[in-house]
Each structure stands twice: as structure tokens, then as C-alpha cells.
Amino acid sequence: MKLTIRIRSIINSLKQSFERFPLTILTSTAVVVFLIILNELGSQLTPDGRDRLIKVTMTLALGIPLSACIKFIFEKMKDVKASTVIIGYSLGVALLVLYSFIFLKDLNWISITRYIGISLFLYLAFFYIPWFKKNEGYEYYIIDILFNFIITAVYSIVLFLGIVIILFTIVQLFNVDIPDKFVLYSFLIIAGIFAPSLFLAKIPELKDESYKIEYPKSLKILLLYIVIPLISVYSIILYVYFIKIIVTRNWPQGLVSHLVLWYSLVSVAVIFLITPILKDNRLANGFKFFFPKAILPILAMMFISMGIRINAYGITENRYFAFVLGIWVLGIMIYYSAKKRLINVVIPISLSIVALISVFGPISSFSVSKFSQNNRLKGLLERNEMLIDGAVSKKEDIPREDKEEISAILMYFESKHSLEDVKYIPEGFKIQDMKSVFGFPHTAKDIYDDKYFSYQMNYTDRRALDIKGYDYHIHSISLMNEPVELEGLRVSLDNRIIRIQEDGALLYERDLEAYIDELLAKQVQLGKHDFLLYPEDSIFVDEGDTVGVKILITSFSGRVDEFNDDRIIDHIEFEILIDIK
């Protein structure tokens, strides 16, 4: 009986949700439909057709928070005419179409970053638009929404797992062939239709000037007796670390920013959530009084660390976002320190404005980064007397470090923006033209600029592998789980190290990462920047007294450690030929 009542309650909630947010739920449903179409059509679509479908789906996804925000605006207005509502939603549709044609014209790194920024702005607006002209209880309102979100997530997960178990049981008991995509579609329908509908049904309507619920006891225990002590201990550790780097004068440039920034954001959220109990709880009030002041020196340490990095390498989008987010945290902590009566709605409002400014306008991350890198290039050229009448004058004999920095700047523009945004170079310049324009070829430390990289064999050039003179051929996949035995020889692969042994005696050993270094060096030397491997570059031959080895590297991928810029190889695939002498 209770189950029936619960199911009816959920159905009524879904119905109320649709009555209150019909366009939001219809838009969310349309996103799910388009995602299913994308998956169904798959390879049948041309690249242009697939991109168009992705753009439509992305635009519709923006319509989810936008339509909800418009609904909230109309709920705050009294006696709204139907014509006004139609005009409001029509304006929203027009803005989405305009955004799609202007800012989603091409799907690249800039358009995706800008899309994330505008999405963050809209979802933050979703949390504060209903609160305009209200007085007290904003924290209670957000806590209520967060708890409803958790409940919705639990319901959705249970429903999804139930469907998966049902499908699995049918397959096992009745030997029915149910495609795996049904699991994916179940997830999309639950996450894109059921969950938003249930969540929106639980959004309270703010009819009074204030909002108050009973402060959750579980949240109070979590924040006061677990989170705040952890933050306090972490702060002490950072202070000790701060003293250490002052004494040693050794500033770890990348590490400090990450250590401080995320912990600061968590601290902002904690103070926000404990605001309703500041008057009644001494621990909460003490944390709010002391912590915002105590964190200021730690934030100063973070900005010094960022400044060292920016001074050395200029501003890029990632550094811009970290710096601006740090400035926002600093402003909030100063506000917490100075203000006794907190008006916490300022937190999402200010953060949404920061998100918008960061991706649009003359001080956006893109504009500032391009300006910074162009200034950095100008400084390098002037230092080496290579800038004459506003244009590059080629010069071969300059320090290698400067060649690497110039190459890195050009690669940054090529991968993140366009070489047309680089000043001082001729029109139509390409990386391959560096020798003729700058006087030296591309000489960056690495030929990739991203933190992640992947190289694949250009199979159009690899028609056959010469196996003449070799006895055995092994693919690297065969060596992943266990060694291969060959006429008394044992061939093994251990953490990218190939070993060939006979009766325990080592006959051959080679670290494949050394070959990766050679490959990358060849790519730089030959000016290849397409992340493809070519057979003539990727074959390595070792001849020993007892065995001869030929290795063809067919693919590898990895990442750059963000703290020390070391290259880390996560995956390597190869073929090995062995000649037993």
C-alpha cells in the first residue's frame, strides 16, 4: 500500500512539474531524442551532418536552464499577460538560434569553452533569479534545493539499476538478444527526462518574503564536526608549507595553485551553508569569524605562485581561469571578513558574472591570452633583435631556449586559436615556414601543446612490414598479461620494458620510452605536426649476438604532468619481430 502511495506521489509530482515547467521538460526531452538519433545514425551521417546535429543538440541543451530562468522571471511578475509570456519565450528561442549561428559556427576548443561558460551562467542564474526581492532565508532555499537534488539522484540511480537488472535477467533467463544500446537509452531517458521532471517538481515556489525550513541535522553534523575540522587541519598544513617555502625560497609554481584554489572554493561553500546557524552555534560563528582572515596569507601565496608562472610563460586560458577564480575567492573572503550580516545571494550572482566575462568580451580569457602571448613573442623577438619595422627578421643564431619559447607560442596559437592572430608574421604563415621566416625550424621541447596527446600509425602509408630474416612476430597485446615462450626464450613486457631471456639469462632489454623520445625528436626535426606515425620513422632495429629485434611502434598516448611538465606515457602499442641466431 505504501509503495502504491509513493508511486502515485511521484506521478503527481511529474504531472505538477510538467504543468509548471512545460517548455523546460519538452526541451530536455528533445535533447534526449536527438542524442538517441545521433547514436542510431552513427556512421551513416556525413561529418557535416553529424556536426549540425551536435550543434542542434547543444543549443537545445542550453534551452533547458534558459527556459527555467524565463519561467522564474514570469513567476515574480504579477498579472502577466499571455502575449507577454509568448514574447518572452520567443525572445529566448531567438537568442538560442542567434547563439548557435554566431558562437557554435565551428565546433572547436574556443566554442566549447564558451559554451561551458554560458551554461554555468544560466545554471547559476537558475539558483538566484527566484530570490530577487526576497529578504531572508536564501541559504535555507539552496539547502532545500540541494537535498531535493540528492533525493532525485537517488531515485534515478535506483530506477536505472532496476532497469539494468531487469534487462540482464531477461537476457539470461530467456536467451533474448537485447542490444547494449538499450542500457544507454535507459540512462538517457532517466537522466534527461525523469530526473529533471522530478527535480523541478520539488523546486519551491517563493510566495513569501522569506523562506525557512528546519536546518538538516545530518548537514549540521557533517559541516561542524567533519568538514570544518578537516579544513582547519588542512589550513595548518598549508601554513607550515608556506613557512617552508619562505625559508627555502623554492616556489613550486603549479602545485600551490591547485592546493589552495579548490580548498578555498569548498570553504566558501561551507561558510555559505552554515550561515543560518551562526547565531546559535559558537563553532560555526568562530569559523566564519577567523577563517576568512586566516586564509588571506594563503591566497597571497597562491597569487605569488601564479605570478611566477605567468611571468615566465604568459597568460593562457587555463591560467586565466585559475587567476580569475582566485580573485573571486579573494573578494568573497574579504566580504566574509568585513560583513557581519551576510547576503549570500551575492555569491552565485558574482560567480555567474565572472563566468560570463571570462568567455565573452575584451577581457575574456581568449582576448587576454592572445594579447599576453603576442606580447611575450614581441619581447623574445626584441631581445634577439629579430623585430624590424613591426615584422620578423630571421636570425638563426639565438639561444635554444628562445627558439623553444617562440615555437611554443606559435604552437599555442595554432592549436588554441589561429596563426592569423599572431602579430609580426607574414600573411598565410604556417609552422612549416619557420625556417624561412624566423631562420630556424620548429624547436619546441615537445611538438604537442595539450596536456594529453595521442599518436596513431598512418596506415595509408604502411602497406606491408618486411619480415624477411626474422623467425617470430609478436603483437604487444599478446604480452600484456603474461610472457610469451619461444624455443626456450621468454619474451616479456614490463612497464614498457621489453626483455628476452633464456634460462634466466638476459639476452635483450630495451625501454620503449627511449624510442618514443627518438620518434618525437624526428617529428620536430622533420616538421611533422599531424600526430601521425610513419613507418619510415617508427621502425627500430637492434642486432645482438644471440637475438636480433625489429620493433614497429604503431601507436602511443600519454600526458604532461601539470606540476613539473614531465612526459608520462600511459599506453604504447607495437609489433616486434625476433630473429633467433
List strand residue ranges (DSSP E) for 520-566, in order.
532-533, 539-543, 547-560
φ/ψ of residue 205, rounded to 5: -90, 125
Supply the Cα-derived Rg of the chain in whole angstroms. Answer: 30
Sorting pLDDT into bands at 50, 70 and 90, what band is 304? confident
Which of the given ranges, 257-261, 270-274, 571-575, has the highest pLDDT on average? 270-274
Position 525 pLDDT exceeds 60:
no
DSSP class of 158: H
Range in 165-174, 236-245, 300-309, 449-458 the model is least confident about? 449-458
Sequence-separated (6 or more) residues with CB below 8 Å from residue 112: none
- Rounded to an integer, the average pLDDT of 487-514 is 84
Q: Which helix (H) or strand (E) holds 339?
A: none
Q: pLDDT value at position 101?
A: 93
Distance separating alpha carbons of residues 540 and 460, to the nearest angstrom: 20
Position 564 pLDDT exceeds 60:
no
- pTM of the entire predicted model: 0.76
Q: pLDDT value at position 13?
A: 79
Which of the given ranges, 113-127, 167-181, 296-310, 336-350, has the highest pLDDT on average? 113-127
Q: Return the amino acid letter for 226.
A: I
Position 452 pLDDT exceeds 70:
no
Reference 159, options 120, 192, 186; nearest CA is: 186
Q: Return the amino acid letter for 268.
A: V
Parallel, antiparallel, or unpaired for β 532-533 and 567-580?
A: unpaired
**Do the Cβ atoms of 549 and 528 come closer than 8 Å?**
no
Cell numbers at 360, concatenated = 565573452
The DSSP string of 467-529 is -TT-SEEEEGGGGSSS-EEETTEEEEEETTEEEEEETTEEEEEEEHHHHHHHHHHHHHHHT--
Q: pLDDT value at position 481?
A: 73
Sequence-separated (6 or more) residues with CB below 8 Å from residue 500: 489, 490, 491, 506, 507, 508, 509, 547, 549, 578
Which of the given ranges, 23-27, 45-49, 317-321, 473-477, has the highest pLDDT on average? 23-27
Distance separating alpha carbons of residues 320 and 364, to the nearest angstrom: 9
Range in 16-30, 125-139, 516-530 the model is least confident about? 516-530
Reference 559, options 479, 447, 454, 483; nearest CA is: 454
Position 25 pLDDT exceeds 50:
yes
The full length of the chain comes to 581
Q: For the chain, what percentages of helix, strand and coil (3-state, to nearest 5) are there?
A: 65, 10, 25
Reference 201, options 254, 151, 238; nearest CA is: 151
Distance separating alpha carbons of residues 371 and 391, to the nearest angstrom: 17
- Domain residue ranges in the chain: 2-201, 217-360, 367-438, 452-580
Position 440 pLDDT exceeds 80:
yes
Cell numbers at 483, concatenated = 610472457
pLDDT tens digits, 390-417: 899 988 889 888 888 898 899 888 888 8
Q: pLDDT value at position 448?
A: 43
Largest CA distance in the chain: 93
- Rounded to an integer, the average pLDDT of 169-185 is 88
Reference 111, options 359, 352, 374; nearest CA is: 359
**Do the Cβ atoms of 323 and 257 come closer than 8 Å?**
no
Sequence-separated (6 or more) residues with CB below 8 Å from residue 399: 384
Measured from the Cβ of residue 517, the count of other Cβ atoms closer than 10 Å reads 12
Position 379 pLDDT exceeds 90:
yes
φ/ψ of residue 545, rounded to 5: -70, -35
Reference 510, options 475, 542, 463, 553; nearest CA is: 542
Q: Return the amino acid letter for 140.
A: Y
Position 54 pLDDT exceeds 70:
yes
Q: The dihedral of CA 148, 153, 156, 161: what is its sign? A: negative
